[in-house]
Amino acid sequence: MVEYSDWMLTAGQRGNRSTRLDRRHADGAAWTRGNDVRPLVHGTAYFGELLRRVRAQRSGDLLLFTDWRGDPDERLGGAGTEISTVLGEAAARGVIVKGLVWRSHLDKLQFSERENRHLGEELAEAGAECLLDMRVRPGGSHHQKLVVLRHPGRPELDIAYIGGIDLCHSRNDDASHHGDPQTVPFASAYGARPPWHDVQLAIRGPAVGDLEANFRERWEDPSPLSRSPLVRLREIMHHEDTEADPMPPQLPDPEPCGSHAVQVLRTYPNRMLRGYPFAPDGERSIARSYLKALRRARSLIYLEDQYLWSPNVVGFFARALYENPGLRLIAVIPTVPEQDGRLALPMNLVGRVTALERLRRAGGDRVAVYGLENADGTPVYVHAKVCVIDDVWASVGSDNINLRSWTHDSELNCVVLDDRADPRPPHDPGGLGDRARGFARDLRLELSLEHVGGGDPNSPSSADDLCDSAQAFDTFAASAAALDAWYESGRHGRRPPGRLRAYRPPDMSRMTRGLAMPPYRLLVDPDGRPARLRRRNAY
């Protein structure tokens, strides 16, 4: 039987006594048990389920959401399923709809200030309430992606969704990876409809109450939505709603319904002058959770990450590789950053190049990094934020492997540990007595099979082939090598199954690195920790 406290943070280890997340549990545990968690791989799977669930809500039900970007015209399905339409229709039926969306930086800087404002305006007209939240550090963002649906009198329908998928353009892609017809501006390498890979969790059970409490902490924060005089002026000019209306009291948590323990983790920065009332010194429980889990890594770290930046964050993964000679790391990342301008590209590359060098110094050929492409040879943008360690510990959420996500922006993650041991060998990959867990292994295998072409009749790979970490590592390498060789041969013969391409970081001269590193640290990957923690590289 896995010991939860070996892998999950205790309430004291969260490092934030001001949150009610852990105090609200009658048993004092910093997690909930008895949940049912399902991964929804790709935006189409998530959007389709969300559409059905929202349309089933009725008067008196509750719909809460937070987002980094919200496009009011993004379709969850076909015509008539635009985000603003679906949420507005719910409000018209009497559903209590409350949203917190990051106000965003200016559109001319390739952000979403106009879109987020319009979503709030359209929902307000329908009777919902969506506030533009700029309670962040300078240059920071609210990056949490959360939807909570509660149903008074019908708690068996309660569900929450968290992960990497925003309610916006480009996210509605499926396993074919032909992209969302509604797109955002993107690097030219990804074409007119950027293919998109992402993961969201659907959670039922007591953890829904924790995720609702996370929303309510932000909703009930009495601080102004922005400290900027210019933003305050814009709020007045646009007649924006800046006061959160009261919500009905929180319902009791849903009853246990599954075998999964879930821990809700966040990042909140240390804000200067006056911090968050629920995190006055910030919260870095996502970072702390990774550091605790990495100390038990012995067999395989499987990562899917949008960035994989920051040498001092990646240093903790490097230490695990150095101290455990049998440990391997597979990382799936975007082949090309989303911004390809002459100034933006070096800033977006220097942190990754430096971080990968550090990983390879520690792990050598036990470190393998891949990009993805679709059947047409177009790169697939990896936006997922997933980590599975030794088929025991699984983390999915909004955070990326970098300082910004671990310290500076607001983020939301869930760690899942399954009571159910997986029956397939190897039974205990890490050798610490934890045994492989059903959820973590199933998640890794589902993602891996898609990447190596396990659904292709010409692929020799099956789920059983990938259970063993060494065999999975070799299968990834063989799949990428076959596709790379096919290109090198001039694409003669049948295209090999799978989507993996070996990631080869671009050469960056010493001068380019030197010029790119300061803006990278200041703008791209800033540090939101108090000075005392920065000095010790602690979290």
Q: What is the mean pLDDT of residues 334-352?
A: 85
Q: Are residues 245 and 296 in the same domain?
A: no
Q: List pLDDT tens digits, range 58-73.
A: 999 999 999 999 999 9
* Domain-located, residue 529: no
Q: List pLDDT tens digits, range 165-224.
A: 999 999 999 999 999 999 999 999 999 999 999 999 999 999 999 999 999 999 999 999
| Percent of residues, the chain, with pLDDT higher than 90 | 83
Q: Which domain holds residue 367?
A: 283-524
Q: Are residues 383 and 248 in the same domain?
A: no
Residue 239 has pLDDT above 80, yes or no: no
- Per-residue DSSP letters for 293-338? HHTT--SEEEEE-S----HHHHHHHHHHHHH-TT-EEEEE--SS-S
- Name, in order, each residue with C-beta under 8 angstroms of 151's C-beta and a sequence gap of 6 or more: 57, 61, 62, 157, 158
Q: List pLDDT tens digits, range 414-430.
A: 999 999 999 999 999 99
Q: Are residues 408 and 446 in the same domain?
A: yes
* Domain-located, residue 278: no
Q: Are residues 358 and 462 in the same domain?
A: yes
* Domain-located, residue 163: yes
Q: Are residues 81 and 223 in the same domain?
A: yes
Cα 251 to Cα 162, 206, 242: the distances in Å are 20, 11, 26
Q: List pLDDT tens digits, range 360-405.
A: 999 999 999 999 999 999 999 999 999 999 999 999 999 999 999 9
Identify the pLDDT of residue 532.
93
Interatomic CA distance for residues 377 and 184, integer angstroms: 20
Q: Where are the beta strands (DSSP E) in 12-167?
A: 32-41, 62-67, 96-102, 129-133, 146-150, 159-163
| 438, two tokens | 């059903």
Of 290, 318, 293, 301, the C-alpha closest to 476 is 301
Residue 497 has pLDDT above 80, yes or no: yes
Identify the pLDDT of residue 339.
81
Based on the structure, what is the number of domains in the chain? 2
* Domain-located, residue 167: yes
Structure letter (DSSP) for residue 155: G
Q: Are residues 288 and 241 in the same domain?
A: no
Q: Are residues 205 and 325 in the same domain?
A: no
Angle between helix 311-323 and helix 344-363 axes, rounded to 10 deg: 10
Domain boundary among 190, 224, 258: 258
Q: Are residues 290 and 254 in the same domain?
A: no
- Name, in order, each residue with C-beta under 8 angstroms of 31's C-beta and a sequence gap of 6 or more: 4, 8, 261, 262, 263, 264, 415
For residue 196, give the CATH number of its domain.
3.30.870.10
Interatomic CA distance for residues 284 and 129, integer angstroms: 29
| pTM of the shown model | 0.96
The helix (run of H) or strand (run of E) holding residue 118 is helix 113-125
The helix (run of H) or strand (run of E) holding residue 51 is helix 43-55
Interatomic CA distance for residues 490 and 278, integer angstroms: 58
Q: Are residues 228 and 332 in the same domain?
A: no
* Domain-located, residue 27: no
* Domain-located, residue 3: no
Q: Are residues 241 and 306 in the same domain?
A: no
Q: Are residues 94 and 205 in the same domain?
A: yes
Structure letter (DSSP) for residue 8: S
Check if the beta carbon of residue 385 is closer than 8 Å to that of residue 302.
no
Domain boundary among 207, 241, 258: 258
Identify the pLDDT of residue 343.
72
Identify the pLDDT of residue 111.
45
| 499, two tokens | 């989507």
Q: Are residues 478 and 378 in the same domain?
A: yes
